[in-house]
Amino acid sequence: MTKSTTQSLPNSAPSTDDPFLWLEDRTAKQSLDWVHGQNEIAVGELQGDPSYQASFQTALDLMTAEDNIAVGAAIAGHVYNFWQDKTNALGLWRRTTVASYKTEKPVWETIIDFDQLAAKEGIKWVFSGASRLYPDFSRCLLSMSPDGGDASEMREFDIETRSFIEGGFRAPASKSNFGWLDEDTVIVSAAFEDADKTESGYPRVIKLWKRGTALEEATPIFEAQKDDLAAGAGVEFDGDKRHVFLARAINFFASHSFLHLPSGENRRIPLPDDATDTSLFKDQLVFGVRTPWTAPDGTVCQPDGLYSLDFAHWIETGSFGAIEILLAPAHRVSIAGLARTQDRLFISLMDNVRGKVLVCERRDGVWSMKPLALPENGTVGISHAEHFGSSVSFSFTDFLTPSSIIWSDDDGETLETVKSQPARFDAAPLISEQFEARSKDGTMIPYFVVRRRDQKGPVPTLLYGYGGFEVPLLPGYAGVRGRLWLEKGNAYVQACIRGGGEFGPAWHQAALKGNRQNGFDDFAAVAEDVVRRGIATASSLGIQGGSNGGLLTGVSLTQRPELFGAVIIEVPLLDMLRYTELPPGASWMAEYGDPSKPEDARWLSAYSPYQHVRAGAAYPPVLLTTSTADDRVHPGHARKMAARLQEAGHDRTLFFEETEGGHGGRGDRRPQAAQTAMKYVFLQRALSAKA
């Protein structure tokens, strides 16, 4: 297919008939028979490749290595960690003392062995987190998924006795959330019955559940609208003050927050709907905004800045006082997140996609701030901050530097590297560079390239992208990618396209809803720039993306197939005219639009990959992956796309569906390692002869 023809595809009439609706039935025999048949073909071709077994073993070894970093959070003198290795496939929830954690070989106490629990109960439980009870933190509300999906069962658990509480709080698997109000009261964000759920399938009603009563008897204290995204609740401590916050999440980017008062009143906190990066610290409510907002005192709050107000004053008077500017916006600097210890607030920033952390104090009504002396020119994250103490830890990595954990017991005053992952591949011959590509509308799009220093000509190259939901793609060390891709002389490219969060809300909004094509154009521009620089040829350039990134690679396949030699589409959205019909698709309308509205349907139909498959198009080889247990992005998207491609004669289309693991592939590492190895085998086969 010629370039001019492929560029015209977004404006051509999409196919509206759908002979593959039956594949949307997640567990019907007909659907699963089709899945098993497809899996057999994909496994036979990819796992049958001579290089597969070694690749699988390498991936599994690295994913389960004993010397991987045990990332943990400190609470009341202990560091808690979830750990998986070859012996513990489903994992251990465990803890050690802070002093022991800092040693080379910590002495861990197992809290729960999930492999033993699975053997006992006959369910492959996947750990989903625990809410611990203040102030002793020895009781918790433990969440476990039966299949790796988002829906989890909750049980009350005693950490000291390592046992579930007989007759304690317990709830069946759902997308509900649980937190402690006090020892005998749980706050439930309920999503059990249809009446409790939003249209997206998330919690709509907040209830108080008293010990000794049935869950059905819990008392409602707050409700969101049926068409909202979700309702949420949480208890926040500020010193010795306990606050109960409730939230009505209208969509991913807008919400109304409330303070639940002792009187029973739910008082709305009058911040703008698109407030973000909120934190309560020393009676100050810190917040940011996604669009400019003029506060009642006349202060103009701008995106990428941070502001604070006297929360205690608002509780007492019901009105905001003066707004203080904590951090002014700066060019290409965005806020990655906030965390706090008892006495300090930490601000994680991205400066041109490179990390840094600021530490703030509040004394005598005045803010002070200084940068932390952390490594530069990489990705810096806040691993944990002890809310009721002074310990805080940070992670550092880049494409060629193994991850490390930098620890402080005194609010960041002294810093010590306590954990460093061993190198997983030979980085000496490699170089990491940052370039920019000019997109269709002239916007400069940054991207990273990792390759051999002495590269003389085009090589097989993997281009990865995401571009949605304000999520940034940051430099990070990946041992599996290093061993299975970079060490073989291949190159890796990571694109920071619009729609993501690399440069704050405006970068995201530039590819929102009807502007989505900007992100797709950005990705194509990076691909063309990579070829122009001689890093790859179009036929030796493969692309990969998952979830929203799967939509990106699906659109890239149907709009610009001539730019690529292989396409991997993981756990994707692909039928954008029906995505709201596949739960929980309705939750994403603030990102993509509503296909039931004619105006939105026009832009969605202009790019929706499923409707733009063409029988005569010269598509490169395609690998689609999904999971039967994915209750976040329905597997019907990937199934139907694979079926339509194959029906249209594109016989180089492979499909593989894992039967467990959910959207993020949680649970046993062996299926994850197998799928990872299959993808690298697919790329190497498709691209190696074309450089």
pLDDT tens figures, 452-486: 999 999 999 999 999 999 999 999 999 999 999 99
Give percent of the chain with pLDDT exceeding 90. 94
Bridge-based pairing of strands 622-627 and 566-570 is parallel
The pTM of the full predicted model, rounded to 2 decimals, is 0.94
- Please check whether residue 442 is in contact with residue 452, taking contact to mean a CB–CB distance below 8 angstroms: no
Report the pLDDT value the prediction gives residue 665, as an integer from 0 to 100.
Answer: 65
Phi-psi region of 27 (alpha: psi -120 to 50; beta: other; left: phi over 0): alpha
Rg (CA), the chain: 25
pLDDT tens figures, 152-168: 999 999 999 999 999 99
Report the pLDDT value the prediction gives residue 659, as an integer from 0 to 100.
Answer: 81
Which among 488, 510, 514 has a CA at the least distance from the CA of 600?
514
Query: d(Cα 608, Cα 603) in Å, to the nearest integer?
Result: 9
Report the pLDDT value the prediction gives residue 16, as an integer from 0 to 100.
Answer: 61
Which among 548, 407, 543 has a CA at the least distance from the CA of 463?
543
pLDDT confidence bin for 2, thresholds 50/70/90: very low
Q: With helix as H, strand as E and coil as C, how does 601-657 read?
A: HHHHHHHCHHHHCCCCCCCCCEEEEEECCCCCCCCHHHHHHHHHHHHCCCCCEEEEE
Query: d(Cα 129, Cα 285) in Å, to the nearest integer?
Result: 27
pLDDT tens figures, 101-112: 999 999 999 999
508 flagged as catalytic: no
Alpha-carbon separation of residue 683 from 491, 622, 680 (angstroms): 12, 10, 5
pLDDT tens figures, 313-349: 999 999 999 999 999 999 999 999 999 999 999 999 9
256 flagged as catalytic: no
Question: Which H or E run includes 40?
Answer: helix 29-42
* Mean pLDDT, residues 163-179 taken together: 97
20-58+423-686, CATH topology level: Rossmann fold (3.40.50)
Report the pLDDT value the prediction gives residue 4, as an integer from 0 to 100.
Answer: 30
Query: d(Cα 573, Cα 630) in Å, to the nearest integer?
Result: 12
pLDDT confidence bin for 668, thresholds 50/70/90: confident
Break the chain into its structural domains and give their ranges.
20-58+423-686, 77-172, 174-263, 269-327, 329-421
The identity of residue 132, as a single letter, is R
pLDDT confidence bin for 17, thresholds 50/70/90: confident
Mean pLDDT taken over the chain: 95
Q: Is the pLDDT of residue 690 over 90?
A: no
Alpha-carbon separation of residue 184 from 12, 171, 179, 214, 264 (angstroms): 61, 15, 11, 13, 18
Q: Which two tokens stand for residue 392?
A: 């805080």
Question: Number of C-alpha atoms within 13 angstroms, CB side, residue 104?
Answer: 1
pLDDT confidence bin for 662, thresholds 50/70/90: low
- From the candidates 131, 279, 547, 608, which is the catalytic residue? 547
Report the pLDDT value the prediction gives residue 315, as an integer from 0 to 100.
Answer: 97
